[in-house]
Structure 1
Amino acid sequence: MTFKFNNLRGDIFGGTTAAIVALPLALAFGVASGAGPIAGLYGAIIVGFFAAVFGGTATQISGPTGPMVVVFAGVFAAYTDQPELVFTSVILAGLFMILFGLLRLGDYIRLVPYPVISGFMSGIGCIIIILQFGRLMGHEPPSGPLMALASIPSAVVDPNFSALAIGIITLAVVFFWPARFNRYVPGPLAALFIATPLSMLFTGVPILGEIPSGLPEMQMPMLTADTAFLVIETALILAALGSIDSLLTSLVADNMTRSRHSANRELVGQGIGNSLAGLFGAIPGAGATMRTVINIRSGGNSRLSGALHSLILLAVVLGLSPLASMIPHAVLAGILVKVGYDIIDWSYLKRAHRGPRWDLILMILVLGLTVFVDLITAVAIGMVLAALAFIHQLAKTQLANIDTIPGRDLSTNEAELLKHADGRIAIFDFGGPLSFGAAADMGHRARERTSGKVSSLILDFSRVPFLDMSAANAVETIIQDGKNSGKRIYLTGLHDDVHAVLKGLGVLDMVPPEQQKGQRMDALTEALSALSGPKGAMEPA
């Protein structure tokens, strides 16, 4: 934990600008979560400060984000009368993130395929928009995207026109605010300052109401036998989402600053922030892309800017909460609609038709599951399908690399020996790593390419750095089939790892040691010599 003061002016300006942007978003996320605006503000303060101090991305600004709020809001709605259970899930989520960091899982979390990430992020964007539609109409929508979606027709038929007018003004500001003004007054803050005073000209506009001021109260963790599964499941989802969200933002920060973040340290920092946030009744958070980008563009380049962003928000909470109580729900809903719109991966959707069709199908599937089922199911199914698709493609590539006579990269001498063999010797070149994806068809490929008058089969492993259990079983099948058909079997080019696997499984016991050669040339020479022997290649190995 070190602070650098060589860019003090830039860090102050970056932290201040990030705090200005974070203020309306924190209020909006707090309301959307069900825990209230003050919980959103303290989420930005606590997670933002401790993630900046202990995290692994110097320029990252952390706080409540769309993905985290969507999951948190679901569990908060289920246990509104037991908030201690809800915040226990936040505390546990933070502890899980710390554990992820200590186990050095940060590098693995980034291996989630892009179509899966794009699908669930876009799905979360859609959920945010669906949940805010009712508030734009002046109504309080039910929790959950499906119920909120079902309530939209009734909200459209019976709108609160005053709230709708304020919502439309807010949407116009956040969507059409000139980019050149963003450096001085970001669009969300401009919408807050413009639409809130205008709302006083209307009657019947729902507002936030009284917001508690002062420091938050501690929420002691509580876990019961009948709620343990849901709380732990929610904590794991929050931890996974927060980890992915934060590390993706870290990659954006790296690209802008030409630096390199520490993924595992970032998870520890985010975990500390979220554990403390849950302990003080605040909503969870993660690295926030938009606020991080604004911090960097405004001059922030060290963890000091993130810490200052939180301290400025704390000053606002302690001194200006009475003014915030006048903010209409429709204003915050309009701001969140823009957040949801920005989360949707429009960039990919616009060019998806030019990429692999399967990736687009996977993205849309994950998006649909995120909106209409739940996030964990969407990500789990997306990961499984992406892995199966990759294995299928890998298996096709591995099988395509398998070749026989005349083989690949044969030397002049090897080619001459094969010519003398007159088709009675086959080299089965595996061509590269062997995995279970290719194992099922490997034996068939060998039988197909070594039929006819082939009497000696050389299995060349020189291009195979490793193989798994399934591939080893396939090799065993090839050897057994060859022996059953009277072929003499030779093994050549076995790397140490491959040799160890085949030896451990007893596969090497099927081939006499004198027919296990280090070089392919040695195997060819002996196989050709065996052809001219009294029993020829018909002598079983």
Structure 2
Amino acid sequence: MDGLIIATLLAGVILILMGLLRLGNLIKFIPYTITTGFTSGIAVTIFIGQIKDFLGLSIVTDEPLIETMDKLKAVFVFIGTLNVQALLVGALSLAILIFWPMLPGFLKRIPASLIAVIAGSAAVAGLHLNVNTIGDLYEISNKLPAISLPAFSLTTVQNVLPDAFTIAILAAIESLLSCVVADSMVNSRHRSNMELIAQGAGNITSALFGGIPATGAIARTAANIKNGGRTPIAGMVHSVVLLLILVVLMPYAALIPMPVIAAILFMVAYNMCDIKTFVNLCKTSPKSDIIVLVSTFVLTVVFDLVVAIEVGILLAAILFMKRMSDVTEVEGWKYVDEDDGADSLALRVVPDHITVYEISGPLFFGAADKILKITLDEKRRCLVLRMRSVSAIDATAMHNLEKLYEDCQKKGIQLIFSHVNEQPWRVMEKNGFIEKVGADNFCAHIDDALKRAEQL
């Protein structure tokens, strides 16, 4: 147990450091299709996980059911144990959750979930129904845990440090994704780095009381928003209420029927799963985005959130690179009438000994091979590369430009560049490429580049 507590403490420290180093800002690189896919997937996971309690099934297995698909399979296997009384309590609670907000006046301001809990608990207790409650399934105590420090040792810290990093990374991902989901539900913006610091402090405190690692949970976040929570005060009130329930109301909390909890989570799942948005993305998005969306959704349901995020981000990155590669073009100069000042593509008479190629789009490793497809004609003594539309290049593109320069040298062709932008210029300068080619062969505009070529 000391190992888990130490790992949780270290994970808390790592989370705080991640927040201080502003690593929370990396969450912005997770595409909308991924957040939509895993949010819908988690909604389905929550729904499937609550079918057992809603129907009052008696599922007996050798090992606890953790995977969503195992839970779904168990529902079909044990459907014969359906408890009609539990189903009726669940249906009553679900009806209250759906129709209570439609009532007029101040009544609809009372949270429907609170009414469902009271009504369901009263029905089960008053009618002596054979329905499982929280107290029937779980051991409940109202004793507060005492602060305890684990036995630290260098060996233990070394052994659990990899686990602590894993816990911290998973906690950061799930917490920040919860924030992203909350942002989309209430049209706000969270503070990623502060979230990591707060999660770290919370895990350190939890470990001191013997608690296990905790993260921001999408289901609880959605439930909070559904019931009116909008600010950090909601989380603080939630903590205080839980403490009061633990100390004062725990015997009464034990009376809450499981079908009522299942009905509440059904509604949470429904509100999390924005079906219209999901369907609209499938109809209107590019095929690559649809692949990411559906893959993330399916993997979340079939496996878990971690696998879904990893595969989703990998797919999104690969498909993004493919898309960027497709839009990057290296083409022989096309003569088009277009007024663009000194750097226009107005019709010009280009001497026979000059070849002009226009490069459009970022030159990165996914598109860098297009440079090597440039045709080198020994009859043409100058090759002009127009790079005004190249915003960035990477090491692979730089390597291929050097290879192109070497091929030009072998064939006696002078390489000239036109309109090299700031980032490509810095990369070329740092690489020594400008000095190798000659600074005189880098011109600000295409007209200057053509004049330079005519002089050679």
Q: What TM-score range do you get, normalising by the shorter chain?
A: 0.7 to 0.9
Q: Does 1:396 align with 2:326?
A: yes
Give the equivalent residue in structure 2 for 1:150: 73
Q: Indicate if the aligned counterparts of 2:355 and 2:380 stay in contact, CA closer than 8 A.
A: yes
Percent of pairs identical after alignment? 27
Whether the aligned pair in 2 keeps the contact of 1:132 and 1:337 (CA below 8 Å) is yes
Answering whether residue 386 of structure 2 is matched by residue 460 of structure 1, we say yes
Report deviation, 1:469: 0.3
Q: 1:295 to 1:216 in 2, by over 3 A?
A: farther
SS in 1 for 2:415: strand
CA deviation after TM superposition for structure 1 residue 108, in Å: 1.3
In 1, the alpha carbon distance for the partners of 2:148 and 2:65 equals 23
Conservation of the 8 A alpha-carbon contact between 1:406 and 1:427: no
Change over 3 Å in CA distance of 1:397–1:420 after alignment to 2: closer
Counterpart in the other structure of 2:309 = 379
Q: Secondary structure at the match of 1:429?
A: strand
Counting only pairs closer than 5 Å after superposition, residues 88-107 of structure 1 correspond to structure 2 as 91-107=9-25
Partner residue, 1:113 = 31
CA distance in 1, matches of 2:367, 2:205: 49
Normalised by the size of structure 1, how large is the TM-score? 0.70
Whole-Å Cα distance in 2 between the matches of residues 127 and 437 of structure 1? 37
- Deviation of residue 323 (structure 1)? 1.1
1:322 is aligned with what amino acid? P
Q: Distance in 2 between matches of 1:415 and 1:285?
A: 57
Question: Which residue of 424, 436, 447 corresponds with 1:521?
Answer: 447
Question: Does the CA-based 8 Å contact 1:414-1:524 persist in structure 2?
Answer: no
| Number of matched pairs | 435
User: Could you tell me how far apart the structure 2 residues matched to 1:236 and 1:512 are?
Assistant: 48
Residue number in structure 1 paired with 2:53: 135
CA drift at 1:170: 2.4
Preserved contact between residue 325 and residue 367 of structure 2 (Cα < 8 Å): yes
What secondary structure does 1:212 align onto? coil
The separation in 2 between residues aligned to 1:413 and 1:115, in whole angstroms, is 39
Q: Partner of 1:273 in structure 2?
A: 202
1:415-472 CA-partner distances (Å, limit 9, x unpaired) = 7994151x4322223234322221022321x22xx65954321123344343110111
Partner of 1:330: 259
Match of 1:442 in 2: 371
**Residues 131 and 143, structure 1, Cα contact 8 Å, conserved in 2:** no
How much has 1:390 moved relative to structure 2? 0.9
Q: Would the alpha carbon gap of residues 146 and 486 (structure 1) be closer, same or farther in structure 2, given more than 3 Å must change?
A: same
Residue 3 (structure 1) aligns with: none
By how many angstroms is 1:140 displaced? 5.1
Change (3 A) 1:93 1:247: farther
Judged with a 3 Å threshold, the aligned counterparts in structure 2 of structure 1 residues 283 and 333 are, in CA distance, closer, same or farther, namely farther
Change (3 A) 1:495 1:360: closer
Residues 229/309 of structure 1: CA separation in 2 closer, same or farther (3 Å cut): closer
Q: Which residue of 1 is the match for residue 289 of structure 2? A: 359
Which residue in 2 is equivalent to 1:537? none
Gaps in structure 2 of 5+ consecutive residues: none
Cα RMSD of the aligned pairs, angstroms, is 3.4
Deviation at residue 96 of structure 1 after TM alignment: 3.7
Report what 1:178 is aligned to: 101
Query: CA separation of 1:179/1:440 partners in 2, compared to 1, >3 Å: closer, same or farther?
Result: farther
Q: How far apart, CA to CA, are the structure 1 residues paired with 2:131 and 2:401?
A: 74
Contact 2:124 2:130 in 1 (8 A): no
Question: How many Å separate the matches in 2 of 1:414 and 1:328?
Answer: 75
TM alignment of 1:525-536, pairs within 5 A:
525-530=451-456
Decide whether the 8 Å contact of 2:418 with 2:442 is kept in 1. yes
Shift of the 522–295 alpha-carbon distance from structure 1 to 2, 3 Å rule, reads same
SS at match of 1:286: coil
Larger RCO of the pair (alpha carbons < 8 Å, separation 6+): 1
Match of 1:347 in 2: 276
Q: What SS does the corresponding residue of 1:486 show, helix, strand or coil? A: coil
Q: Distance in 2 between matches of 1:122 and 1:415?
A: 49
Deviations 1:11-56 (CA, angstroms, capped at 9, x unpaired) = xxxxxxxxxxxxxxxxxxxxxxxxxxxxxxxxxxxxxxxxxxxxxx
Q: How does 1:219-238 map to 2 (within 5 A)?
A: 220=149, 232-238=165-171
Matches of 2:392 and 2:346 in 1, distance apart? Answer: 30
Give unpaired runs (5+ residues) of structure 1.
1-81, 531-541
Structure 2 equivalent of residue 23 of structure 1: none
